[in-house]
Amino acid sequence: MPNSACSTLADSSRDQHSSKVPRIIELPDGRRIAFAEYGDPTGVPVIFCHGWPATRLQAGLLHDDACDFGARIIAPDRPGVGFSSAQPGRTLTDWPQFLTELTNALDLEEFRVLGVSGGGPYALASAWGRSPSGRT
């Protein structure tokens, strides 16, 4: 049985899967990270690495299952995609720093990473580039 916070979120989230307004984090250097959240807002944080071509909205497909499993899906737009600022010259190896900026802003000490399709390499880069503590 999903928790009440997830049940309350479910009604508004179902209507917003295709038009969910992103949350925006402004970084000190002026860049923006856009993201959306789905699932259980009190659940285990899971960073969702969307496929290509896709955006944070792809994670909306996981909302009901995330509620059932107690997962808080945090789905950022990659740099230059959706509402996140472009980062000219970036490479896949820049992704772990992007996640560090996101997770630090959200004050997450621990989280899981899930990549689908074109997001798979980003999930692998997350594991490759993170410090053992998960924070840098």
User: Which tens digits make up the pLDDT trace of 44-85?
Assistant: 999 999 999 999 999 999 999 999 999 999 999 999 999 999
Closest CA to 104 of 132, 134, 68, 75: 134
Domains of the chain: 4-129 (3.40.50.1820)
The predicted-structure confidence for 14-44, as pLDDT tens digits, reads as follows 444 445 789 999 998 899 999 999 999 999 9
Indicate the pTM of the whole model: 0.86
Q: Which amino acid is at 55?
A: T
The CA angle 71-76-80, to the nearest 5 degrees, is: 165
Asked if 70 and 34 count as a contact pair (C-beta separation under 8 A), the reply is: no
List of residues 6+ apart from 24 with CB closer than 8 A: 32, 33, 34, 83
Give dist(CA 84, CA 72) in Å, integer.
20
